[in-house]
């Protein structure tokens, strides 16, 4: 070797081309006609990826070096735009139990308020019926007093009082005999 050979740059290796492979055949994309009696291989579907077992399938990085570990440069890195909290705060069971107790307290207060309103409404209804009940007692006492008087007159021989006493008995009013 001489000094001139050592200064030459190494020969360039050919780089793989990135051309899209087109099926052989005419402009319509149909395969060329096969020789008579030759067996044809099944054709892949249009748009389907070539199977990994086929020899013309391009090899991916994971297929070519399946057992090779990933290089550190391939690992995802945290960027300044991804903001992650420094430390997540945990409360344990205190906050859920506190919320549960507050909910039960509010619910009990609401129910108590509803019951107090219902009680006031029932008391007002009862007070409104007191006057009607008192009036019905007065009418009943007057009817009993009238019935006694008619019975006394009917026992004394008054025909009209006897007819009225019979009608009162038909209506279900109890007449007492003296």
**pLDDT class of 106 with cuts at 50, 70, 90:** very high
**Per residue in 48-61, pLDDT tens?**
555 555 555 555 55
Q: How confident is the model at residue 178, as a pLDDT? A: 55
pTM for this one? Answer: 0.34
One DSSP character per residue, 54-87 reads STTSPPPHHHHTTTSPPPGGGS----TTS---SS
Chain segment 150-163, per-residue pLDDT in tens? 888 888 888 898 89
Q: Could you tell me which of 154, 143, 151 has the C-alpha nearest to residue 178?
A: 151
* Residue 127 confidence (pLDDT): 92
Q: Give Cβ neighbours of residue 22 (< 8 Å, ≥ 6 apart).
A: 29
Report the mean per-residue pLDDT for the chain: 75
pLDDT the model gives residue 172: 82
Instruction: Please answer whether residues 175 and 146 qualify as being in contact, where contact means their C-beta atoms are separated by less than 8 angstroms.
Output: no
| pLDDT score for 102 | 97
In angstroms, rounded to a whole number, what is the distance separating the alpha carbons of residues 130 and 89?
64
Nearest of 109, 128, 105 to residue 117 by alpha carbon: 109
């Amino acid at each position: 070797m001489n000094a001139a050979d050592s200064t030459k740059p190494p020969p360039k290796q050919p780089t793989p081309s990135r051309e899209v492979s087109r099926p052989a055949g005419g402009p319509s994309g149909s395969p060329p006609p096969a020789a008579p009696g030759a067996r044809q291989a099944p054709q892949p579907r249009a748009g389907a990826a070539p199977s990994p077992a086929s020899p013309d399938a391009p090899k991916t990085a994971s297929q070519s070096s399946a057992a090779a570990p990933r290089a550190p440069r391939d690992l995802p890195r945290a960027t300044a735009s991804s903001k992650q909290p420094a430390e997540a705060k945990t409360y344990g069971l205190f906050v859920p139990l506190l919320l549960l107790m507050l909910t039960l307290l509010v619910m009990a207060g609401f129910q108590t308020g509803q019951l107090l309103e219902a009680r006031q409404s029932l008391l007002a209804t009862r007070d409104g019926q007191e006057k009607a009940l008192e009036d019905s007692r007065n009418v009943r006492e007057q009817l009993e007093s009238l019935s006694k008087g008619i019975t006394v007159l009917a026992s004394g021989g008054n025909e009209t009082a006897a007819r009225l006493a019979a009608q009162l008995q038909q209506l279900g009013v109890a007449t007492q005999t003296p």
